[in-house]
Structure 1
Amino acid sequence: MIKTCVVLLLLMLTSVDSFAASWRINYPRPLSESDRRSDYPLKLLALALDQTGVNYRLIASDRIMPQSKALKRLMDNREVNVVWSMTDEQREEQLLPIRIPIYKGLIGWRVFIIRKDMDSRFKYIQNLDHLLKLNPIQGSDWPDTKILQANGFDVITATDHSALFKMLANAQGDFFPRSVVEIWEEMKTDNPANDFVVESKLGVRYPAAMYYFVNKNSVPLANLIRIGLEKAIQNGKFDELFLEEHQAYLDKSELDKRTFYQLQNTYLPIKTPLHRKELWFENTEPVIQ
């Protein structure tokens, strides 16, 4: 069924001479020159567009945009016309999601940045109740914050990404949960004083998806990205790029040596394609409690 839909959509695009079209696709400029978190989403977006055969240009916004501002600009159809972000019900109401999790759900596999002086404290955690006594740090507008709060955590928040590391350094919180695909680059760029370490034995896990979002009215662009992603999934190029970009991070995270505490995500939209197993990372090694 999916294959048939992709073929039909490709025929629709070619019938309107899409190969002659030139698509200008503006995305949020990274927070700094050293911020590598946009690298993979941009590579995957380019891969998807390449699958369709269209002419396109990927152009960074003139200004640096924190995620909250980028989503607002996208909703207003100003400055950017594609943003990648973790989904929740509100974002899917305000924007148009392409429901293919670009990180295969690994955005919900979280391990912890901690201060070096907290390492011994974490060694004594034996269950989720013990972990709940500590305060995680998160962005105030992140879906993860609501998820952690709904699971019983007292979350310390800030609006600015760099401020979160300063808060952790100043002991305003106890740990900073980051996904296994984010944490290692952040340890390079946001740990200049070498104050932090990645806790080695624990993690939390909850169902989560990061999607490409476009403006509600940008249906042709959404269809174009969706077609390209589906084709890359079918021909194996999606998984090839995913592993090329993330296998080293997965190895470094040593998932098989960690205990992950399973959390609930009651904010996960009902249309999340959990039934499509090929879209999600699954590892049988980690201990899930």
Structure 2
Amino acid sequence: MRFQHHKTGTIARLAMLLMALLAFDARAIDKVIFDRPASTADHRREYANALLRQVMERTVPGFGPYTIAYADTHMERPRLFEALKEGRLVNVTAYPADARWLKELRAVPVPVDMGLQSWRIALIDKRQQERMRRLRLPGELKQLRAGVGIAWVTAASLRDNGFAVVTGGSYDGLFEMLMAGRFDYMPRGINEIFQEYEERKPAAPQLAVEDSILLHDQIPSLFFVSPQEARLQRRIAAGMESLLRDGTLERMVLQHHRGSLQRARICKRRRIDLPGKDMPAAMLARRELWLDPFAPRHGICPAETRAR
């Protein structure tokens, strides 16, 4: 009897210890270190910042409290990749996906902007606009030089599809290269181009948003988490799926970017699709992950004016 009582007491204590450990894990403070923009003129992280806070708030009931801090310095893509693998200087970012990032980091397989950044229009010298309108697509556009960051996924996508590419080493330097005539056009996501244009127009009066061509490369921007942060990846994935299910993610995308979609006049542009080779088939197959800006329910493009 004493043995049975001792055994029962031991099991009870172990059960209480396990419950305490689970409670501790559920209330652990998740510490996010997000990457820093290139400069005060770089607004590319503003939407992702707002979304990340929504994700972390949405998951407080299941995962507990959190903090969000920012890396001490900006890191270009190659250095950021190495820092994410280590997880000390930065442990979360939102960036366009490529095969290596998908393999070596912890990806959250829900595009942060539902694929909006995959719809691209270009910055140009305004003196080139008439020439761009007269191009026979896609052949003559492939002969012009696209300007992109040396490590951007866009560079590989354009090259894979036969486009001429000129690369630059820094984000801010690319705008100077465009104005100096080092390349002919600079493809940018619809979600980012107009803020970039307004920010730089005063110092570059010849800068313009090209008005006739739309590129679609279907490269998703995802939250990437350090391999050292399995729990944090699970939390962000749970939050993104929750925001997707109840429509919050789509509402956020449209709330932040509807004006840019309308201003881009995508319905009247000539469209070029750029097939990608590295994206997971399962992600591409989930139609609910992708915003179709031409869908009539969004009110961006009346059916009769959809781009062809």
TM over 0.5: yes
Shift of 1:132: 1.0
Counterpart pick for 1:174 among 164, 169, 184: 184
Show the counterpart of 2:123.
113
Could you tell me which amino acid in structure 1 is paired with residue 287 of structure 2? Answer: K
Counterpart pick for 1:100 among 92, 105, 110: 110
Counterpart pick for 2:217 among 206, 221, 224: 206
Please show how residues 144-163 of structure 1 align to structure 2 within 5 Å.
144-163=154-173
Give the 4+ runs in structure 1 shifted more than 4 A: none
Unaligned ranges ≥5, structure 2: 1-18, 296-300
C-alpha RMSD of matched pairs (Å): 1.8
Please show how residues 118-267 of structure 1 align to structure 2 within 5 Å.
118-191=128-201, 192-267=203-278
C-alpha distance in structure 1 between counterparts of 2:36 and 2:23, whole Å: 31
Could you tell me which amino acid in structure 2 is paired with residue 87 of structure 1? Answer: A
Alpha carbons 1:84, 1:210 under 8 Å: kept: yes
Deviations 1:86-108 (A, max 9, x none): 11111112211001001111221
TM-score by length of 2: 0.85
Alpha carbons 1:147, 1:267 under 8 Å: kept: no
Please show how residues 45-124 of structure 1 align to structure 2 within 5 Å.
45-53=52-60, 54-124=64-134
C-alpha distance in structure 2 between counterparts of 1:140 and 1:280, whole Å: 27
Secondary structure of the corresponding residue to residue 69 of structure 1: helix
Alpha carbons 1:136, 1:177 under 8 Å: kept: yes
Could you tell me which amino acid in structure 2 is paired with residue 209 of structure 1? Answer: P
Show the counterpart of 2:51.
44
Shift of 1:35: 2.2
Shift of 1:33: 2.4
Larger radius of gyration: 2
Shift of 1:19: 5.2
Could you tell me which amino acid in structure 1 is paired with residue 307 of structure 2? Answer: V
TM-score by length of 1: 0.90
Shift of 1:221: 0.6
Deviations 1:78-125 (A, max 9, x none): 200101111111111221100100111122111010001111111211
**Could you tell which deviates more after superposition, 261-270 or 144-153?**
261-270
